[in-house]
């Protein structure tokens, strides 16, 4: 039985107000039966982010993450970044250059983490969004 998250069952990571830099932490394990974790983060109306910086501690194997977005008027949840591979043991910053423009209404972004191997992966990732 798969324990994979879906967008509908994404874990809530908080709210980005856009007033100053904010850091969000994502922790968990990816296993043979739980290969996908999804977190959701709300961007408040009027906020924007010109860059985000990832710091992480990945044990057991690498993983890949991708950012998705959902907003009023969009049909469904769409990719907002290319897949970004993070190697095991990574602790250095990774700039992924995802840009989220100022919005007229609240939007929800999703961070989808998945692993390409059958090895257990433990992760602790911090994303910092800056206005």
At the topology level, CATH places domain 7-130 in: Jelly Rolls (2.60.120)
What is the pLDDT, as a whole number, of residue 91? 61
The dihedral region occupied by 48, where left means phi > 0, alpha psi between -120 and 50, and beta the remainder, is beta
- What pLDDT tens digit does each residue of the chain (131 aa) get? 567 889 999 999 999 998 898 999 999 999 888 889 999 999 888 888 876 767 777 888 788 888 888 866 666 778 877 787 777 776 666 666 667 777 788 888 898 998 877 788 888 888 888 88
Helices (H) and strands (E) in the chain, counts: 0, 10
> What residues contact residue 102 under an 8 Å CB cut-off, 6+ apart?
18, 46, 47, 48
pTM over 0.95? The answer is no
Using a 10 angstrom Cβ sphere, with 0-12 exposed, 13-18 middle and 19 or more buried, the burial of residue 41 is buried
């Amino acid at each position: 039985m798969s324990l994979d998250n879906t967008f509908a069952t994404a874990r809530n990571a908080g709210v980005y107000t856009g007033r100053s830099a904010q850091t969000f932490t994502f922790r968990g394990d990816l296993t043979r039966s739980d290969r996908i974790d999804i977190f959701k983060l709300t961007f408040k109306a009027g906020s924007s982010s010109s860059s985000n910086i990832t710091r992480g501690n990945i044990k057991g194997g690498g993983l890949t993450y991708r950012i998705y977005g959902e907003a009023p008027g969009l049909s469904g949840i769409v990719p907002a970044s290319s897949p970004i591979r993070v190697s095991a043991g990574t602790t250095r910053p990774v700039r992924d250059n995802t840009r989220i423009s100022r919005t007229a209404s609240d939007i929800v972004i999703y961070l989808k983490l998945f692993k390409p191997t059958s090895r257990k992966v433990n992760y602790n990732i911090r994303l910092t969004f800056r206005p």
